[in-house]
Amino acid sequence: MPKLTDFLPDPFGKDIYRLNAKKAREDAHLRRPHAARQAATHFIASVPFANRKCIAVYYPAGTELHTWPLVEELQTEGKTVCLPVVANTNKPLIFRAYTPEMPLEKGPYGIMAPAATAPVCHPDLLIVPLLAFRRDGGRLGMGGGYYDRTLQQLRRERNVLAVGYAYADQEMEKFPVDRHDQPLDWIVTEREAIKVR
Ligand SMILES: Nc1nc2c(c(=O)[nH]1)N(C=O)[C@@H](CNc1ccc(C(=O)N[C@@H](CCC(=O)O)C(=O)O)cc1)CN2
Ligand SMILES: Nc1ncnc2c1ncn2[C@@H]1O[C@H](COP(=O)(O)OP(=O)(O)OP(=O)(O)O)[C@@H](O)[C@H]1O
């Protein structure tokens, strides 16, 4: 049965959910030191990535689940790994190749990104950072709309797989999902790999 609150406008929008999600992620970051390796293992075992050539990861910021154990595995598998670059505010992200010897520089929001000398890549699978996820593929991000714009653009062009990557405790039962929010295809945590659709 739908609840009355399902039809009422949410007075706080997404911000109150972002606050709660940040706290949950901070706690998980402290309590789960092995999570990044465990999540990488679930990704390799469950997500169908064999036919994907170029995989976008993120450079972990703050208390985000680290991606380095996964990057090592992907590079061992012969995949091209790339990182997001904020080229323009309020525009889709672009991606540049990442190898261990490649220079990184501090980009907007203080996040490290490949320098302009690194080749531009067109990922066919994206590891997506998030503050909170829902089991139905809903994603709450930092609020810039970067991944929504990027996935909308990439999905128009070709088949891409969006894989949310997070601590299991970042799961939330509900938060507002807008029409422009791009759903996740898979969610990988230290506990499991969830196929959404
Ligand atoms: N690791 C990582 N890389 C990423 C993202 C991300 O979420 N994580 N992005 C995903 O879109 C893009 C950058 N987008 C961002 C958008 C907004 C803020 C932001 O509002 N930062 C606040 C601090 C937030 C906080 O910790 O309270 C700030 O800089 O004031 C940060 C990144 C591309 N690269
Ligand atoms: N495809 C799109 N085209 C234009 N604007 C968009 C698009 N997607 C999102 N936006 C705008 O971006 C802003 C932030 O969106 P939202 O709060 O959903 O971000 P988010 O998914 O949490 O952030 P991020 O993807 O950067 O982690 C909103 O003002 C929204 O209108």
What string of DSSP letters covers 150-165?
HHHHHHHHS--EEEEE
Closest ligand to 132 CA?
Answer: 2
Digit-coded pLDDT (tens) for 43-61:
999 999 999 999 999 999 9
Check residue 23 and give its pLDDT.
98
- Establish whether residue 164 lines the binding site of ligand 1, counting it when its CB lies within 6 angstroms of any ligand atom: no
The residue segments making up the domain with residue 96 are 9-195
**Nearest residue CA, atom 9 of ligand 1?**
146
**Is 58 within the bounds of a domain?**
yes
What CATH number should be reported for the domain holding residue 69? 3.40.50.10420
Q: Is residue 16 part of a domain?
A: yes
Residue of 136, 153, 38 whose CA lies nearest to 94 = 153
The ligand 1 atom at the shortest distance from the C-alpha of residue 61 is 1
Task: Tell me the pLDDT band of 7, cut-offs 50, 70 and 90.
Answer: low
* Predicted confidence (pLDDT) per residue in 112-150, tens digit: 999 999 999 999 999 999 999 999 999 999 999 999 999
Beta strand 186-188 with 193-195 is: antiparallel
Q: What is the ipTM of this complex?
A: 0.89
- Would you say residue 82 lies in a domain? yes
Does the predicted TM-score (pTM) go above 0.95? no
- Number of compact structural domains in the chain: 1
Residue 75 has pLDDT above 60, yes or no: yes
C-alpha of residue 62 to centroid of ligand 1, in Å: 10
